Amino acid sequence: MSAEHRRYLSRLRRKNRLVLITRLLLLAALIALWECAGRLGLCDPFIVSSPARVLETIGGLYAANDLFPHILTTFSETAAGFLSGTAIGVGIAVLLWFCPFAERVLDPYLVVLNALPKIALGPILIVWVGAGAEAIIVMALLVSTVVTVMTVLSGFMETPPGLMRLMRTLGASRTQTFIKAVLPSSVPTIMSALKISVGMSWVGVIVGEYLVSKRGLGYLIVYGGQVFKLDLVMASIVILCALAAVMYYAVAAFEKRINRRFGR
Cα 257–chain centre separation: 18
Give every CB contact of residue 261 below 8 A, 6+ residues apart in sequence. Answer: none
How high is the pLDDT of residue 7? 80
Q: Are both 127 and 102 inside the same structural domain?
A: yes
Q: Are both 86 and 123 inside the same structural domain?
A: yes
How high is the pLDDT of residue 174? 85
Task: Determine if residue 216 is left, alpha or beta; phi over 0 gives left, psi from -120 to 50 gives alpha, anything else beta.
Answer: left
The residues of the chain scoring below 50 in pLDDT are: none
> Is residue 81 a contact partner of residue 140, using CB atoms and an 8 Å limit?
yes
Residues 109, 117: Cα–Cα separation, whole Å: 14
Q: Are both 99 and 34 inside the same structural domain?
A: no
Tell me how many domains the chain contains: 2
Q: Are both 87 and 14 inside the same structural domain?
A: no
Query: Per residue in 110-123, pLDDT tens?
Result: 888 888 777 777 77
Residues 203, 206: Cα–Cα separation, whole Å: 5
User: What is the per-residue burial (b if ≥16 Cβ within 10 Å, else e) of 75-98?
Assistant: bebbbbbbebbbeebbebbbebbe
> What does pTM read for this prediction?
0.81
How high is the pLDDT of residue 264? 56
Q: Are both 4 and 125 inside the same structural domain?
A: no
How high is the pLDDT of residue 237? 92
The domain in which residue 24 lies consists of: 1-43
How high is the pLDDT of residue 263? 56
Percent of the chain residues past pLDDT 90, beyond the cut:
21
